[in-house]
Amino acid sequence: MRVIVATAITGALLVGACTTDPYTGQQKISNTAGGAAIGAGLGALGGMLVGGDDRRNALIGAGIGALAGGAAGAYMDRQEAELRAQLQGTGVSVSRMGDRIVLNMPSNITFATDQDAVMPGFYGTLNAVALVLKKYNQTIVDVNGHTDSQGSDAYNYGLSQRRASSVADYLSAQGVDGRRFAVNGYGETQPIASNASEAGRAQNRRVEIYLTPIT
């Protein structure tokens, strides 16, 4: 899996391995989250001590405080409510797994067939997403592209990667901190419906955004 991560160095070298294992289920479960309380005042040293995710390290090192315990759940509750309000009627679904928020963007409203440029008609929806992401900056953002099983594995992987990159690039251009992003292309490897029907293939062609609190 290819992961594109922008990192920052603030007073110290931040070293870590970034791994992404996104969930695809739609069930909403408990909003309780663990995690240590790490304040913004810890600076770069605090970022180095947090763990293995480069993005978390960089953001905490840059002065963005981490969320502790139940505060993460409440923070994500508020963000989820605002996203649901902003995205109502757009075709983008908002779901929840614990303290993670998942935005599912079907390709039929996001991209033209076999294209990787965001359709102008979708700009307003992404603008609304960007507004919420900027307000709730204590999250990291995984943008994951997926395709159906039509075509070769290599083609589908490349298309999914380019589409995810286009969404992340657009959000960054609207002022969302690029250090928060990882961009992943999964091709046809993570279907959420059967590829035996056109209806199922349409569900599989999507970009998903996962929002995870910095804890």
How far apart, in whole angstroms, are the C-alpha atoms of residue 8 and residue 23?
A: 27
Rg (CA), the chain: 17
State the pLDDT at residue 199: 95
State the pLDDT at residue 106: 97
Higher pLDDT, 91 or 47: 91
pLDDT at 2 over 80: no
- Burial code (b: 16+ CB inside 10 Å, e: under 16) for 86-121 equals bbeebebebbbbbbbbbbbbbbeebbeeeebebeee
Closest CA to 182 of 29, 12, 16: 16
Please report which confidence band the pLDDT of residue 22 belongs to, taking 50, 70 and 90 as the band edges: very low
Does pTM top 0.85 for this prediction? no
State the pLDDT at residue 60: 86
pLDDT at 164 over 50: yes
State the pLDDT at residue 56: 86
Within-domain flag for 108: yes
Closest CA to 133 of 99, 180, 95: 180
Q: Which of 22-26, 57-61, 69-73, 211-215 has the lowest mean pLDDT?
A: 22-26
Q: How many domains does the chain have?
A: 1
Within-domain flag for 21: no
State the pLDDT at residue 88: 97
Within-domain flag for 202: yes
Bridge-partner residues for 212, per DSSP?
140
Within-domain flag for 104: yes
Within-domain flag for 96: yes
Torsion sign (Cα): 178, 85, 21, 190: negative
Bridge-partner residues for 106, per DSSP?
206
Within-domain flag for 188: yes
Within-domain flag for 61: no
User: 175 vs 1, 130, 170, 200, CA distance in Å?
Assistant: 27, 7, 9, 35
Here the CATH number for the domain that contains residue 168 is 3.30.1330.60
Within-domain flag for 43: no
Domain ranges, residue 178: 68-213
How far apart, in whole angstroms, are the C-alpha atoms of residue 204 and residue 187?
A: 10
Strands lying side by side in the sheet with 139-146: 4-5, 181-185, 139-146, 206-213, 100-106, 93-97
